[in-house]
Chains A and B, each alone.
Chain A
Amino acid sequence: MAEMVTLSIDGREINTPAGTTILEAAKDANIYIPNLCSNEELTPYGSCRLCMVEIAQGKRARLVASCIYEVADGLEVKTNAERVLNVRKLVIELLLARNNKHPALRKIADELGVEETRFPVEQKGCILCGQCVRTCREVVGVSAIGFSGRGITRKVATPFLDFPPDCIACGSCVYVCPVQFIPMKEEKDVRTIINFDYPMQKCTKCGRYFAPIKQLEYFSKTTGLPLEHFETCVDCR
């Protein structure tokens, strides 16, 4: 049993194991904190800054990102203080400047009472939450994509902006993206992610194209089973 700590979030007393983050503790207690970059399958990253909360321990109060701040005994957390809401409004405005169309961002903006961003809209689409990069690295385990550049030139990219050699075309990055920035489509025997084409495997029994060949090769490599085992779709196996 992990050691338990007691903290208060918005005046409510909460008991939670040490080591959890404020965001997780709040979620368990049904207290809503907006966030875009956190994902329980991934290590906390703290890039979107929407989950800012005010914490007080003793006299001093300060703002922290709740998704990367661990709970501690006697911590007083405010998720709705005026200071917190002001910061969140600014953050969502900055995010809207990168993408002012996506419903997920619009919804959070509405909740915060933000109608339009005061910043020039660049419509980059991607909000740099890093979920795709982290998923590829931590969940899929191939690290085919990464960030490139820094500051205003930071973006998610394949190495040398070229066909990613490690990519298995699983589409996890597409699935996890909170703003559906990475395009993927399937046409008969080809899956296209961004503008890279990956041939699909035809099921040896029913003839349906069911998965990218590269992904099946990866399965075969990681499980040690022969490739033939994966050339039949799950329904026919």
Chain B
Amino acid sequence: MKARIKEIIDKYDTDKGFLVPILQDVQREFNYLQREVLHLVSAFLEVPISQLYELGTFYKAFSLEPRGRHEMKLCTGTACHVRGVPLIKDNIGRILQIQAGETTPDLEFTFETVNCLGACALGPILVVDGEYHGNISISKTNKILKKLGKKVKIDEES
């Protein structure tokens, strides 16, 4: 772990100015910004740990909690909202048994809502591991989840 972090930091010439890109790379490598990792970065760069914590909590792209293997982002922008996203959100939440913004305990899924993906004509939109699914419905989300290996109880009507 230590060697890998050193490698990443060396890539940026141990320059404190590249704090955000360094943390991005570190997060990509270790899935999330765990405590020990941040402490190591702090020691290598001679940046106080409080400053790293500040950055880690400020940017949404950073996570101090473990992330799931699959990342689901549901758009809750106005256009998606009026086309029924609240129901879809409840459905995903019920199947994964988590609230939006949480990760399943088995670390398979992280489910988040975002405010607008800028593709309103395709709404409602669900992004799964970087892949955009437009015009989704409850039955479509069920199919997507099934494909990812989640056992979905078939609803009476969908």
Contacts and interface: CB of A to CB of B under 8 A. Distances in A.
Instruction: Tell me whether chain A's interface is mostly helix, strand or loop, or mixed.
Output: loop
Nearest to B64: A160
A56 to B, nearest CB: 36
A146 B58 CA distance: 11
Q: Please give me the 10 A-B residue pairs with the lowest Cβ-Cβ distance, nearest first.
A: A143-B48, A146-B50, A159-B53, A146-B54, A148-B57, A159-B49, A149-B57, A150-B58, A159-B50, A143-B50
A158 B50 contact: yes
B143 interface: no
Nearest to B56: A148
A148 B48 contact: no
Interface of A: 136-137, 142-150, 157-160, 164-166
Interface in B33-73: 35, 38, 48-54, 57-58, 64
Nearest to B53: A159
A67 B65 CA distance: 38
A164 B58 contact: no
Contacts of A147: 54, 58
Interface string B69-87: 0000000000000000000
A142 B64 CA distance: 23
Nearest to A157: B53
A166 B57 contact: no
Contact of A148 (B35, B49, B53): B53
A23 to B, nearest CB: 26
Given A146-B53, A159-B50, 12 more contacts: A136-B50, A143-B48, A144-B50, A146-B51, A147-B54, A148-B53, A150-B57, A157-B57, A159-B38, A159-B53, A166-B49, A166-B50
